[in-house]
Chain A
Amino acid sequence: MSASDVLVRLSSLGKDFDVSPPFLNRLLEREDRVLLKAVDSLSIDIPKGKTFSLVGESGCGKSTVAKLVVGLYRPSRGSIVYDGIDMPTLKTQADVEPFRKRMQMIFQDPYASLNPRWRVSDIIAEPIRAHRQITGKRAIDQRVAELLVQVGLASADGVKFPHEFSGGQRQRISIARALAGQPEFLVCDEPTSALDVSIQAQILNLMTRLQRQFALTYLFISHDLAVVYHISDFVGVMYLGRLVEWADKRTLFQRPWHPYTRMLLDAIPDLELSGRQRSPVAGEVPNPIHPPSGCHFHPRCPHANERCRNEVPNLVRKDTSEVACHALLENRLPEVTVTGEPADVGSGG
């Protein structure tokens, strides 16, 4: 993809957390500092107007990437280039400010992210006031009413407080607030994971519609592969802080290469009632503080060999995918094509 199509480029991005025992304990027990590599050398390009999703199991670093991208964390290594500008090199508030309003974040728990003592209209107006985009009470009120309608609420809902809304409606409020500053880029961290499926469908439909309407670019984070398939253009799979595979969504779901991607796809309970017997991959995600050497996935991988235990695999191109796996390079990974028709659900009756 050419550089001009890319809105956000993450290069060799890394984030360490210091999880050492308290200083005194370290001194007494002669322990070293302990660093947890929550994100390790992650590179992705997010094209303008598209949705790039990150999937992976709990603790693999998805939320940390989200927070790095919107500037809630400072990276330990690597760069975040936003529309040509390397964000972490910006030093002053005044330098950062113009970029801040171009990106917004939506969180999993809409309740925790809304101030319970503020009226909905003030919650939504806050970014407008902060960025001084519109001035004058009348104009701001009008903009808030417009935003409420855009996310499927009534303009009269502005006078209410967050607790008067259901979970799905609260997520609409946080989307309205995110849109208030007219951003071009939304980072959405599990925006529907706390919602029931029928409400999830409403929010996903809303997000798709808004993306089209305002040419938004999304970084979408979820552990739900079906949601990710539905919403994304590109999908990256993370395991213990590293990107192990990425591709356009159809390729990733039809011709997964990385053994971990294959395991994830195989683990999803399906609605197709195929009666297939699964053989779930044994084991669990290891402790991220002391991850396995070499390829982090090797203790669970059916294709692991000596090299996997010693050497970190790099992402390499395979057709239209990028995959970090020694077995693929060594041609000892059997090709797998996942077919399977979409479930024919609920069409009878």
Chain B
Amino acid sequence: MSEARSNQHLLSVENLRVEFPTRRGTLVAVDRISFHIDEGEVLGVVGESGAGKSLTGAAIIGLLEPPGRVAEGNIVFDGERIDDIGYEKMRRLRGNQIAMIFQDPLTSLNPLFTVGRQLTETIRTHVSIDERKARVRAIELLNEVGIPAADRRVDQYPHEFSGGMRQRVVIALALAVNPRLIIADEPTTALDVSIQAQIITLLKRLCREHGTSVMLITHDMGVIAETADRVAVMYAGRIVEIGPVGDVIKRASHPYTRGLMNSIPVIRQDIEQLVQIDGSMPRLTDIPPGCAFNPRCPKVFETCRTERPELVDVGATKAACWLYDYARRPGAGSTT
């Protein structure tokens, strides 16, 4: 579907493919994935390290590091294609509509300027107000993200803030432009649990109040369970399952999602051995043909080794697994 205006989603990604050309051939890091995010919705993106989560986020906002490139697919934001709009327009979009929060808050903050100066500059690129009013707004934002004594701390430098406080400042910076979409890549991963809980609660509240959509990238299922409306599970560059968070977490359809959920230790669950998925996710250089999960899958059958399964409806979710293609699964044809 390429007529951009024909859908109502805030963001829709179709058939996105991210490649890295190397001397030994092309590595496909994100392999034809499709998903959408609606207005005011939190989409969680989970998967183990190297699954392609961060690259998906980077591709959307045009921050792929060369030689990485979008090789295929299109990305539509608010009805307009944004995968081919060029550097300047993309930069403006990032300044106005889509904000990014990274794992390490220091990558988003300039160590040489006070927090206040960074906030006022961001605010003033967005709305034309004078320095003094921008400063008042900056203090308001710091207050809003829960920084105590904001009127004093506004004149401090990033290194004078703790890790959790810095991430709050980054969130304030993201909010400064009133974005419609925030892409948050592991925003709580570097933080202690008590601070993580504060940041999650803050993000949830702010999105509710401002109607902002969020693409929340993390490897932490607990964070997803508490925050996301829907969740996409990635494995080896592909989305293997996507759907409402409750369905994916409690009633996983895809064998990988199910294995992943069962391998997480649960408090007050007394078991001697955890359910384990043997092996590990393949490197980009040796992704197996067919279903990328097939060498680790307890349910693997012939078709899985040669043909790639596409996402199909399974109840409320979609899963990319041949088990749900009733014409292809083992035993098909022998019944009916």
Residues of A participating in the B interface, judged by any CB pair closer than 8 Å: 57-58, 166, 168-169, 196-202, 204-205, 208-209, 223, 225-227, 229-231, 253-254, 263-273, 278, 280-282, 284-285, 340-349
Contacts known (A196-B219, A267-B196, A269-B226); A346 close to B272, Cβ less than 8 A: no
Tell me which residues across on chain A come within 8 A of B253, comparing CB atoms.
349
Tell me which residues across on chain B come within 8 A of A254, comparing CB atoms.
268
Contacts known (A166-B280, A205-B273, A205-B274); A267 close to B266, Cβ less than 8 A: no
Complex Cα distance A343/B275, Å? 14
Tell me which residues across on chain B come within 8 A of A265, comparing CB atoms.
267
| 18 A–B pairs (Cβ distance < 8 Å), ordered by A | A198-B280, A226-B265, A230-B271, A231-B265, A268-B222, A268-B267, A269-B225, A271-B225, A272-B225, A280-B197, A280-B201, A282-B146, A285-B194, A340-B268, A342-B268, A345-B264, A347-B251, A348-B251
Please name the residue on chain A nearest to B51 by beta carbon. Answer: A196
Cβ of A345 and Cβ of B261 under 8 Å apart? yes
Tell me which residues across on chain B come within 8 A of A197, comparing CB atoms.
48, 219, 221, 260, 263-264
Tell me which residues across on chain B come within 8 A of A169, comparing CB atoms.
280
Contacts known (A270-B222, A348-B252); A208 close to B272, Cβ less than 8 A: yes
Tell me which residues across on chain A come within 8 A of B269, comparing CB atoms.
229-230, 342-343
| Bitwise interface map of B from 208 to 247 toward A, beta carbon under 8 Å scored 1, else 0 | 0000000000011111011100000000000000000110
Cβ of A253 and Cβ of B268 under 8 Å apart? yes
Please name the residue on chain A nearest to B199 by beta carbon. Answer: A280
Please name the residue on chain A nearest to B262 by beta carbon. Answer: A346
Contacts known (A273-B245, A346-B258); A204 close to B265, Cβ less than 8 A: yes
Complex Cα distance A319/B207, Å? 44
Tell me which residues across on chain A come within 8 A of B225, comparing CB atoms.
269-273
CB distance from B317 to the nearest CB of A (A): 9
Complex Cα distance A223/B192, Å? 8
CB distance from B109 to the nearest CB of A (A): 18
In this assembly, does B306 line the interface, its C-beta being within 8 Å of a C-beta of chain A?
no
Cβ of A343 and Cβ of B263 under 8 Å apart? no
Tell me which residues across on chain A come within 8 A of B132, comparing CB atoms.
none
Complex Cα distance A296/B65, Å? 45
Partner of B198, one of A58, A198, A229, A282: A282
Complex Cα distance A198/B256, Å? 10
Tell me which residues across on chain A come within 8 A of B271, comparing CB atoms.
230
Tell me which residues across on chain B come within 8 A of A280, comparing CB atoms.
194, 197-198, 201
Cβ of A345 and Cβ of B262 under 8 Å apart? yes
Complex Cα distance A58/B223, Å? 19
CB distance from B128 to the nearest CB of A (A): 36
Tell me which residues across on chain A come within 8 A of B219, comparing CB atoms.
196-197
Complex Cα distance A208/B223, Å? 27
Complex Cα distance A246/B280, Å? 36
Cβ of B164 and Cβ of A284 under 8 Å apart? yes
Cβ of B267 and Cβ of A273 under 8 Å apart? no
Tell me which residues across on chain A come within 8 A of B275, comparing CB atoms.
201
Complex Cα distance A349/B197, Å? 31
In this assembly, does B195 line the interface, its C-beta being within 8 Å of a C-beta of chain A?
yes
Partner of B263, one of A201, A231, A273: A201
Cβ of B192 and Cβ of A58 under 8 Å apart? yes
Cβ of A198 and Cβ of B268 under 8 Å apart? no
Complex Cα distance A348/B197, Å? 29
In this assembly, does B200 line the interface, its C-beta being within 8 Å of a C-beta of chain A?
yes
Complex Cα distance A285/B48, Å? 29
Please name the residue on chain A nearest to B200 by beta carbon. Answer: A269
In this assembly, does B320 line the interface, its C-beta being within 8 Å of a C-beta of chain A?
no
Contacts known (A202-B278, A273-B245, A273-B250); A281 close to B263, Cβ less than 8 A: no
Cβ of B198 and Cβ of A345 under 8 Å apart? no
CB proximity to A under 8 Å, residues B55-71? none
Please name the residue on chain A nearest to B254 by beta carbon. Answer: A349
Tell me which residues across on chain B come within 8 A of A223, comparing CB atoms.
192-193
* 8 smallest beta-carbon distances between A and B, as pairs: A269-B222, A348-B251, A342-B269, A201-B263, A230-B265, A196-B48, A346-B261, A267-B197
| Bitwise interface map of B from 306 to 320 toward A, beta carbon under 8 Å scored 1, else 0 | 000000001000000
| Bitwise interface map of B from 153 to 181 toward A, beta carbon under 8 Å scored 1, else 0 | 00000000010110000000000000000
Tell me which residues across on chain B come within 8 A of A343, comparing CB atoms.
250, 266, 269
Partner of A281, one of B194, B222, B261, B280: B194
Cβ of A198 and Cβ of B196 under 8 Å apart? no
In this assembly, does B285 line the interface, its C-beta being within 8 Å of a C-beta of chain A?
no
Contacts known (A254-B268, A264-B193); A349 close to B252, Cβ less than 8 A: yes
Partner of B250, one of A198, A268, A345: A345
Complex Cα distance A69/B34, Å? 52
Please name the residue on chain B nearest to A287 by beta carbon. Answer: B162
Tell me which residues across on chain A come within 8 A of B195, comparing CB atoms.
284
